[in-house]
Structure 1
Amino acid sequence: MKSVQQRYLSIVELSATVLLLAYPTAMIAVKGGMNGVFLLMLLLALAVWLARPNGIEAVMWRSEFTIYTVSMCAMSVAILISQTYLQNYTAHPYDAASRYWLAIPVFLLLQRLRPAVFVVLQVAFPLAAIIGFMMSNDLGAGSENRSGIGTLDLIHFGDLELIFGVLSLFSINWLGRDNKLLRLLKVTGFMLGLLASFESGSRGGWFAIPVFILIYFYFRTSRVSLKMAAASLIATSFVIAFVYLASGTFQHRVNELINDIATFEQGNRDTSTGVRWQLYKAAADIFAHHPIFGVGPEGFALEMQPMLDAGKITPLAAELGRGEVHNDILSKAAGMGIFGLAALLASYFVPFGLFWRATKSTLREVRRAGILGIAFVSGILVFGVTVEFLNLTMATAFYGFTVAVLLAACYNVHYGVQIVVHKPE
């Protein structure tokens, strides 16, 4: 019979495995599902911290963990600095920002569990892409016949389907040679995730496709070269041409973008693209006038009326700007000045740097987890160029959680203390 400690360890690992399997689909299919999974994983981490079972080592702190921790706490600190300077304290901005640093206990738990718990991610990512595709339906003429689901707005849905599809593709042969069924599942997840993104009409996320292709070719050749750049360009052109001919929604949205640009050049600023451009210029102007502390985490909306009165933006842009800037980087720069900008960049580039180090490992599992992390962070960064992807609590929970999970796969203690070993130049 198993001892109490062995059963406890088995329960912890089984619980973590189930939550890792569920969280991508919960993000897509269940309203509030991502935050629910996050909370359960936090409770599991708390339980292990209070009563650590035999078989799970104590935390062995590394310098990389300090850098990661600082980067995840930076946004909350930036909010506090801005609010203190402006003497305007509200709790709401901390809700989303807390998801970054609340992911740290998740990382510290998962990096001490057996690597076997990560196996389910190979199923979780394609399963989420497939379920999202199956749940999506045509939203009708009011939404330009774009396809989506009831639990997410069109932009987040399209971007998430794309990232799940890409993670499905990049996870092929992650932990060894995939059998035919698993490979079929991953390829299906990739194709349906891509198709769901195209049918959603969320064109801002499509700018990440060339980045994904470049990442793929780089890690196939392990160097930057003119040949690799040309291959990436050709592959991107082929994908765009094929989808343009195959998808009516994609074709319509691309033609609409071209028309928006032409109309904007003729003086009409109230197109989808034109409004975004106005808001970008407004955010840059606000940052230029308030570069240190910004106008507050929620201050951009209050600046819309003065901008409108000064003739810098149109009434439509002012109305939409009270909701968001449509750019994560400019939003944080305008709202919290240099501290907000630095905090957001740290949340991107610190994990990116740690994932990049992991790709130099001598262990295949660690290298591939690093590539998955690079693709994930790069995708979210690009998504945030045309929309505030991280303006929702569930989105920051998803980002912080996924970064923690993939970093734990890179820095798992069962791979040994020297997890990352740089190859000689």
Structure 2
Amino acid sequence: MLVSQSQKDMSTPATNSSPSFRSRSLFPAFFLLTYPAFTLLVNGGASAISIAAAVISLALLLSPKSWTGLTPIQWDGVDMRFCLAMASVLAAVLIGEMWHGVVIPSTLDSPSRFLVAAPLFLVLRQGLPRTLVWSDLSFAIGALTSLGILLIAPQGLGNGRISSPFLNAIHYGDIALILGALSILSLNWWRKDSLPVRVIKIAGLIAGLAASVLTGSRGGWIAVPVVAALILYVRGRGKSRRWKVLLPLAIVAMLAGIFVFSSGARERVGDISSDLMLYKHGQRDTSLGVRLQLYEAAVQIVKNHPLLGLGAHGFRDSMQSFADAGMLTPMAAQLGRGETHNQFFAYLTNYGIVGGLALLSIYVVPGVIFWNRLSAPAGPANRAALMGLTFVVAFWIFGLTVETFDLKMTVSFYATMVAILTALATNEYKASSAARVPPQ
């Protein structure tokens, strides 16, 4: 009865009239509710809000505890592992560039965004459930926003593909897709949802899928079967045989419906086999063909410079030599000066194995934390762990076909979302003891 009562207490976000809600809770509550949507609505919004949140969080951590109401940080294993992982990418980039004797300040910006998320994580991990519960509808609102932008202010890209006015289709489609997945996973997260809330969250899933299809970002679609299998495995433990049969069939039917009724989705999937056939016959200047050429060049660089790579912009600056050697077509070399189209190859070629391991840590360390928290009693923390694991697995897959962290916006979005979800999954105030927490 204690757990159910605590969940009931947290079922509705507090309002200004609630005795448990103070002005100091207003900013984190508003931040948790609006961050995903604000990321897509405002150019630079993800970066600006994440930096503001980090500055405020750092100020809170350094201020006297009597002012902030926060308990002293105990620095347990979760705190240490998370913060070290978030700092490792910046450290690897600095080591690589110092080794090569050229430190380029602009290349430090994106890696530093991971570290910026650490203070936010430390503050949110100490937050009370009455504040954290404001994240309940944030993913649904973000997913609905992703579709709304495409319907109201689309940016045409040709070939039937659209995106937002300031974000390219690949990143936009990937973010919309993962927000849709998190929206459906948030069903009955903090309590048994009312019918209107359920409708909103289900609509969030549909909106995220629709936005992804409209952008034609097929690289992100690779994550769908993997994420679906992960969710079915985790959520299916202890479920009836009927549940284990009907839910996978419902997922397959939904995806088949998208394929049948969306000509754009069919064309994008069909282009894969067409591109492979052309590649085999020597026509390498296709979307897939260019990627395969760049991957071959990246593998060659890693073989020749395994430990610390070529240094900052090393992959970009090597494109002409590969083109001169006939390994890349002029078109592939030109596009390769923009990006490698694979996040791991980007770090491996520029910063070697050191950079690759650092990059891997920002997926693996939170992923392991989430996996361990799946064994927690059913409740908000357990569900947040599944959502977090889904998020990092999806973003890892997104990075197989595009550089997910070449934009400040996408780095900030990933780092901030991981900080939020890790804090929610490991918050020191467990749902089972929330009823014993004194009012704020």
TM-score under structure 1 length normalisation: 0.91
Match of 1:118 among 132, 141, 149: 132
Which aligned pairs between 1:259-408 and structure 2 lie closer than 5 A?
259-408=274-423
Check whether the contact 1:12–1:44 (CA below 8 A) recurs between aligned residues: no
Aligned-residue offset at 1:234: 6.1
Check whether the contact 2:180–2:204 (CA below 8 A) recurs between aligned residues: yes
Check whether the contact 1:166–1:190 (CA below 8 A) recurs between aligned residues: yes
Matched with 2:91 is: 77
- Is structure 2 residue 46 aligned with structure 1 residue 31? no
Distance 2:90 2:243 in 1: 40
Distance 2:252 2:48 in 1: 40
Matched with 1:4 is: none
Aligned-residue offset at 1:170: 0.7
> 248-257 or 45-54: which moved more?
45-54
Q: 1:228 to 1:381 in 2, by over 3 A?
A: farther
Distance 1:60 1:363 in 2: 25
- Is structure 2 residue 148 aligned with structure 1 residue 134? yes
Structure showing greater relative contact order (alpha-carbon pairs closer than 8 Å, 6 or more residues apart): 2
Matched with 1:10 is: 22
Q: 1:134 to 1:364 in 2, by over 3 A?
A: same
Check whether the contact 2:79–2:122 (CA below 8 A) recurs between aligned residues: no
State the AA in 1 paired with 2:414.
Y
Aligned-residue offset at 1:258: 2.1
Root mean square deviation, CA, Å: 2.5
Structure 1, gaps ≥5 residues long: 1-6, 420-425
Check whether the contact 1:34–1:394 (CA below 8 A) recurs between aligned residues: yes
Match of 2:72 among 50, 58, 68: 58
3-state SS in 2 of match to 1:300: helix
Check whether the contact 2:29–2:134 (CA below 8 A) recurs between aligned residues: yes
Q: Deviations over 1:29-67 (max 9, x none)?
A: 100001111122123213322243363211111022111
Percent same amino acid at aligned positions? 33
Q: Deviations over 1:166-185 (max 9, x none)?
A: 00011111112111111111
Distance 2:420 2:365 in 1: 15
Q: 1:113 to 1:131 in 2, by over 3 A?
A: same
> 130-139 or 192-201: which moved more?
130-139
3-state SS in 1 of match to 2:377: coil
Check whether the contact 1:68–1:350 (CA below 8 A) recurs between aligned residues: yes
Distance 1:39 1:11 in 2: 21
Q: Deviations over 1:136-174 (max 9, x none)?
A: 14544x521112110211111101110110000111111
Distance 1:239 1:54 in 2: 47
Check whether the contact 2:51–2:116 (CA below 8 A) recurs between aligned residues: no
Distance 1:17 1:263 in 2: 52
Aligned-residue offset at 1:230: 9.1
> 51-60 or 150-159: which moved more?
51-60
Matched with 1:211 is: 226
Q: Deviations over 1:376-407 (max 9, x none)?
A: 00110010001001111111111111111111
Distance 2:252 2:338 in 1: 34
Aligned-residue offset at 1:120: 2.1
> 170-179 or 321-330: which moved more?
170-179
TM-score under structure 2 length normalisation: 0.88
State the AA in 1 paired with 2:73.
V
Match of 2:266 among 239, 244, 251: 251
3-state SS in 1 of match to 2:232: helix
Matched with 1:178 is: 193
Matched with 2:56 is: 44
Q: 1:240 to 1:160 in 2, by over 3 A?
A: same
State the AA in 1 paired with 2:74.
M
Check whether the contact 1:139–1:145 (CA below 8 A) recurs between aligned residues: no
Check whether the contact 1:297–1:336 (CA below 8 A) recurs between aligned residues: yes
Matched with 2:175 is: 160
Distance 1:298 1:128 in 2: 34
Distance 2:211 2:68 in 1: 45
State the AA in 2 paired with 1:263.
L
Distance 1:376 1:354 in 2: 13
Aligned-residue offset at 1:264: 1.2
Check whether the contact 1:111–1:408 (CA below 8 A) recurs between aligned residues: yes
Check whether the contact 1:217–1:228 (CA below 8 A) recurs between aligned residues: no
- Is structure 2 residue 213 aligned with structure 1 residue 201? no
State the AA in 2 paired with 1:407.
T
Which aligned pairs between 1:99-110 and structure 2 lie closer than 5 A?
99-110=113-124
State the AA in 2 paired with 1:331.
A
Aligned-residue offset at 1:240: 3.9
Q: Deviations over 1:202-258 (max 9, x none)?
A: 0000001001211221112239xxx99998986665444321111121112112222
Structure 2, gaps ≥5 residues long: 1-18, 435-440
